Chains A and B, each alone.
Chain A
Amino acid sequence: MPVTDNSAGKMGATTEGTRARERLALLTADNASVPLQASVQAITAILLAALLIALPWLGLGYRFLSIAITTIYTAIGLYGLGLQFGQAGIMSVGHAALMGVGAYTSAILSVQLGWGFWTTLPFAMAMSAIVGGIIGLPTLRVGGQHYIIITFCFCALFVIVLTNGGTFTGSATGLDVGSVTPLPGINFDKLSNNYYLVLAALFLALAATYLIGISRYGRTLRAIRENEQLARSVGINVDLHKLGVLMVSGLFAGLAGVLQLYYLRHISPSLFGAFPSLYLALMVMLGGARYLYGPLIGAIIVNFLPEVLNLDPVDSRIAYGVCLLLVILLLPGGVSAGIKNIYCAIAGGSEEQGGGSNGRA
């Protein structure tokens, strides 16, 4: 069936430009981009923001807040991955390495030049974006699976380079940094202040994802995801957009990496290797890459599940694996797609039909 889809698309493009455009509009209008009512969106956003801001005041303890910080900086990295996978359809299993590029750029600048958090942040983000773009160059030539394998190689290579980097990268033991340079009146050594710092970054990431999603740029990306040839034929510069989205994704990863660095105060190569990267891919699939809150939901599930179920690391990893299999088989659009479908069913909307086509990734 997909084959006929494509050929029909091609014919439309060659015979008449307007029909191609109409078809493109139809293709991109899956359930994920069907907007919920504005009021529902606003209420969800306000409730979520209120909950997240109130979190340190709920008296849930030091450990809970630490996991929350981990969850949030992971989610920021996931928003980058969600953007490139959910919007443009380019999956990566080396995303932790991209976070690592940001974290190490920041740490090396801090160790070698003595720069602080705020000064290194833009450099780290830029570095991640540039590296993201460079790894992205091959995607212009090869297909999706080849790119995935390239990202995986990059990730393994990155760890080897860091491990053999001598004192410059701190070898296998890694690097240490000081605490976040305090802003006037705010000392980030306090855990709740660190939480608010990370949370502010999350809100930025959410806002950026939302704006990209509703913008012309986001629509263009979705058009490329659904039918690259058709997108090309209506005059979209596919190569440029692909590289662009990978670099934007790199910006998110750099931000997440620096936040991770300054939360942990110590980084080592193993934090950015194959396993963390695979878990990022898992989280984004689990949550649902095409939905605004999908990556956040994925990060929350994966980070809090072992805590809630009180599992040891081995069991919790088995649980992740099983969750991933179940989600892909039963809910290809991720948990957030499931939530949205349930909501649509309850609200009596006719949007349910998107359930099957959602997982086309």
Chain B
Amino acid sequence: MDILLQQLVNSLSVASVTILIGIGITLIFGLAGIVNFAHGEFLMVGGMATWFMVGAGINFFLALVFAGLLVGALGYAAERCLFRFTLNRPMNGFIMSIGLSVILQHAVIRVFNEFQKSIADPVGQVWTIGGVDIIAMRAIVVAITAVIVAITYFGISRSRYGMALRASVSDRDTAELMGIPVRRYVTGVFIYGSLLAGIGGALMISLFPITPFTGSVIIIRGFAVSLIGGLGNVGGAVVGGLVLGLVDGLSAGYGYPEWTDAYSLVVMILILVLRPQGLLGGTLGPKAS
């Protein structure tokens, strides 16, 4: 029983990172209409930046903020220089994002190297609650994620910005006629999603070592999460992340660990085929022109 609880706590912290990347993808794909395959690389860059800053003696939590800002700036640059030209041709944008992901991955290898990098546990405490040992950093990761999820959820579903954003997804032309600066919203969503990826990367490196190739692995999970939940649906991404995180955590502990990655892929293919709008319902993604 203790082992089960511990597995659950561990899964929850892993799920947190997945949720962060899933929310980023669900917003960018579902609301801004950009399929950004380089999102996983954004996360990896965030992790690498954190590793570099912590190595240079900066406090982890400060580094986390900087990593978020850095990757947000990266997202801004990518949107302005690349994706804004392909808004009407999502397929071209998608292919371009593959190119971007290859560039980022190998640029990181060029700047650092291809080996895995890790940082020491920034908190370094273990809490024992009811006979279960919980590594404090893991609990903090879950807490930070919960705060971000709450902010994003209320931002999208309650604030007038979120409402304007959803309006521009469902009918872009009308939204523009109503005076909503749709283009600027697209840029804003892209930056916000990228920022979340940066924070996700920082949190991830506090849990496990990462390599320059981490991004291309995590991106599939990110798409899985956002599609399982329904594109553009923040709550859906949380549910999707929890489902995947639990499946992974439990299969690593009890099932066949070598098939861990396969489960999420199978779940995702099934959902895409059987319920393309996701479990909780969302947009069907950008409409091709």
Is B109 close to A, CB under 8 A? Answer: yes
- Cross-chain contact A361 with B91 (CB below 8 angstroms): yes
A323 to chain B, nearest CB (A): 8
B26 to chain A, nearest CB (A): 13
A149 to B29, CA, bound (A): 12
Inter-chain contact total with CB atoms closer than 8 Å: 131
B115 to chain A, nearest CB (A): 13
Is B160 close to A, CB under 8 A? Answer: no
Residues of A within 8 A of B107 (CB): 318
B171 to chain A, nearest CB (A): 11
Contact count band on B: 35 or more
Is B237 close to A, CB under 8 A? Answer: no
A70 to chain B, nearest CB (A): 19
From A138, A285, A317, A322, B272 is in contact (CB under 8 Å) with A138
Q: A156-B220, A164-B259 are in contact. Are A324 and B98 (CB under 8 A)?
A: yes
Binary contact track A280-291/B, C-beta < 8 Å → 1, others 0: 011001000000
Q: A91-B91, A145-B35, A149-B227 are in contact. Are A324 and B285 (CB under 8 A)?
A: no
A302 to chain B, nearest CB (A): 12
Is B100 close to A, CB under 8 A? Answer: yes
- Cross-chain contact A325 with B110 (CB below 8 angstroms): no
A110 to B288, CA, bound (A): 44
B53 to chain A, nearest CB (A): 24
From B86, B95, B106, B289, A2 is in contact (CB under 8 Å) with B289
Q: Within B69-99, which residues are at the interface with A (CB < 8 Å)?
A: 82, 85-86, 88-92, 94-96, 98-99
- Cross-chain contact A143 with B92 (CB below 8 angstroms): no
Residues of A within 8 A of B227 (CB): 146, 149
Chain A binding surface SS class: helix
- Cross-chain contact B265 with A332 (CB below 8 angstroms): no
Q: Which residue of B lies closest to A329 (CB)?
A: B85
Q: A3-B173, A142-B276, A145-B35 are in contact. Are A324 and B95 (CB under 8 A)?
A: yes
Binary contact track A309-325/B, C-beta < 8 Å → 1, others 0: 00000110110111111
Q: Within B187-207, which residues are at the interface with A (CB < 8 Å)?
A: none
Contact count band on A: 35 or more
Q: Which residue of B lies closest to A318 (CB)?
A: B106
- Cross-chain contact A321 with B106 (CB below 8 angstroms): yes
Q: Within A135-161, which residues are at the interface with B (CB < 8 Å)?
A: 137-138, 141-146, 148-150, 152-154, 156-157, 160-161
- Cross-chain contact A325 with B266 (CB below 8 angstroms): no
Q: Within B103-149, which residues are at the interface with A (CB < 8 Å)?
A: 103, 105-107, 109-110
Q: A274-B216, A325-B82 are in contact. Are A146 and B102 (CB under 8 A)?
A: no
Is B43 close to A, CB under 8 A? Answer: no
- Cross-chain contact B99 with A321 (CB below 8 angstroms): yes
Residues of B within 8 A of A314 (CB): 106, 109-110
Chain B binding surface SS class: helix
Residues of B within 8 A of A320 (CB): 99, 102
Is B223 close to A, CB under 8 A? Answer: yes
- Cross-chain contact A360 with B95 (CB below 8 angstroms): no
Residues of A within 8 A of B109 (CB): 314
From A150, A278, A285, A329, B269 is in contact (CB under 8 Å) with A150
Q: Which residue of A lies closest to B88 (CB)?
A: A2
Q: A143-B284, A144-B288 are in contact. Are A324 and B110 (CB under 8 A)?
A: no
Is A328 close to B, CB under 8 A? Answer: yes
Q: Which residue of B lies closest to A153 (CB)?
A: B265
Give 23 CB contacts A-B under 8 Å. A2-B88, A3-B289, A91-B94, A138-B272, A146-B227, A149-B227, A150-B269, A150-B273, A152-B223, A153-B268, A157-B262, A157-B265, A157-B269, A285-B95, A317-B102, A318-B102, A318-B107, A321-B102, A322-B103, A325-B82, A329-B96, A359-B89, A360-B89
- A145-B90, A153-B268, A328-B96 given. 7 additional CB < 8 A pairs? A138-B272, A141-B273, A143-B288, A149-B268, A314-B106, A321-B106, A359-B92
